[in-house]
Structure 1
Amino acid sequence: MLKPYCKLCNHKSEAANRLNECQLEKLNEHSSQAIFQTGEVLIRQDSPTNSIVFIKSGLVKIHTQGPNRERIMNISKAPSYLCLHSTFGDKINHFSATALEPTAVCFIESNVFTSLIQENGNFAYEVIQSMGRGELQNFHYLIDIAQKQNMGRVAHVLLYFAKQIYISNTFNLPLSRQELADLAGITRESISRILHKFHNEELIHIEGRKISLKNDRALKEISDKG
């Protein structure tokens, strides 16, 4: 673990930007930084919540392990907080978080983070805003996926990566076919078949893990029709 220097950090959250110099020093003293490589676990499901996790750079998958299979709940990109709900709830992590690419993370002691919320109303407001945005994004994603058939789900996931994660119609998919199936809520066989169909119809181009959306308007229509 490395010690961050919050005052000079170029990746501060909007909330941290609302702290005064003394509060930034307090945050700095009670935080540590770590770099996680692809596939390394940041947070383990059912472990105690001792820290707020702030993703400074990189990308992680948020997933849960059920009795029969893994379920990927969503993808979280920097900058974003994890473990806010657990910190203010039952102090247990209800999901795991795994790096999908090299990811820089700050671990902030929960009691110090809570004290900063109590001290600084502007900091608290930005934290609530962050929680609200995350909740709405997850809500809309889960509702949209649940209402679609398989082709609509795959189109929706591809657009999700292009428009919300990478902000580009060409990207390297960070998930395996099985993980992509878990995110879409369908089988691996269905994912492979539909991706092949989209490729043949020139809606997308696939080269290994590199995917280019060639006709995002048509994909949007497929997604909207479900």
Structure 2
Amino acid sequence: MPTRKKKSTRLRRSAMHGLNGDAKEGDFEAFVSAIIDKGARKKVFTAREVIYREGDQADKVFMILDGMAKLLSYLPNGRARIVRLHSLNHWLGLEALLDQPYEHTAIAVEDVEMVYVSMNDLHLLERDNPRQYCELLKQGYRNLALADRCLADFSTGGIRSRVARLVDFLAKLEYGEAANRVELLTVHEMADMLGVTPESVSRILAEFKRNDILHRMSDHLDEVYEIKAEQLQHEARQ
């Protein structure tokens, strides 16, 4: 299956968005420095590398500094289903806060730079900087809200509208709320998120391209497409 290379085109949005909507990028850098002072470490996971596995003891949490990761849940028949996508400044593995095993398997969609914090270091953060520790708890709530949205948007309605909602979701995840472009996942990954066949996704994407809802940006080497937002939103509402 093809994978996405490290992205040079994705905009680095205001990186504190997932921590404090009013903060600035400098605050984000200060936050990263603060948790590194508490023992956090940086690491780059290459595309398709496993970050952690479902059922493993959750002994650390991870924050994405750049790139994208997916969370997989395995069905009884052994098939993997993508249940969540995470991007810049999102936290993964927050089950560790409750001393629970990891609920999903986390895999890098592309090269992902992360900072990870052990539970011992998190306890120091809780003691020395309770405000930042509370932000972790808030991110846990946001993760649940995101999962609920994915369940509703990607599991109801016709396949065409669900593909449109997924494209819109990816655009906002990658480039922010005012996004006018998107870098698509592979058709297999999109099919896994929607619970449909790759052939169905491929057919609908081809229709979107023919109708110019998705227009390939010729100045990008990656699969980056300009979006006609009004038409895409119309398709998503069907």
Q: Which residue number in structure 1 is paired with residue 89 of structure 2?
A: 79
- Among 70, 95, 102, the residue aligned to 2:80: 70
- Among 136, 158, 171, the residue aligned to 2:145: 136
Q: Which residue number in structure 2 is paired with residue 192 of structure 1?
A: 202
The Cα shift of 1:178 comes to 0.8
Query: Bigger CA drift: 203-212 or 70-79?
Result: 203-212
For the 8 Å contact 1:148–1:223, the answer to whether it is kept is no
The Cα shift of 1:111 comes to 2.5
Cα distance in 1 for partners of 2:115, 2:56 equals: 18
- Among 96, 102, 113, the residue aligned to 2:111: 102
Q: Deviations over 1:98-123 (max 9, x none)?
A: 11222111221113203422443312
Aligned length: 209
Q: Which residue number in structure 2 is paired with residue 172 of structure 1?
A: 183
Runs of 5+ unmatched residues, structure 2: 1-14, 21-26
For the 8 Å contact 1:170–1:210, the answer to whether it is kept is no
Cα distance in 2 for partners of 1:219, 1:55 equals: 28
Runs of 5+ unmatched residues, structure 1: 1-10
Q: Which residue number in structure 1 is paired with residue 158 of structure 2?
A: 149
Alignment TM-score, normalising by the size of structure 1: 0.80
**Residue identity opposite 2:132 in structure 1:** F
Pair 1:56–1:151, CA change in 2 (3 A): same
**Residue identity opposite 1:68 in structure 2:** G
For the 8 Å contact 2:155–2:194, the answer to whether it is kept is no
Cα distance in 1 for partners of 2:172, 2:38 equals: 37
The Cα shift of 1:34 comes to 1.2
Alignment TM-score, normalising by the size of structure 2: 0.76
Q: Which residue number in structure 2 is paired with residue 49 of structure 1?
A: 58
The structure with the larger Rg is 1
The reply to whether residue 210 of structure 1 matches residue 233 of structure 2 is: no
| Identical pairs, percent | 22
Greater than 6 Å deviation, 4+ residue runs: none
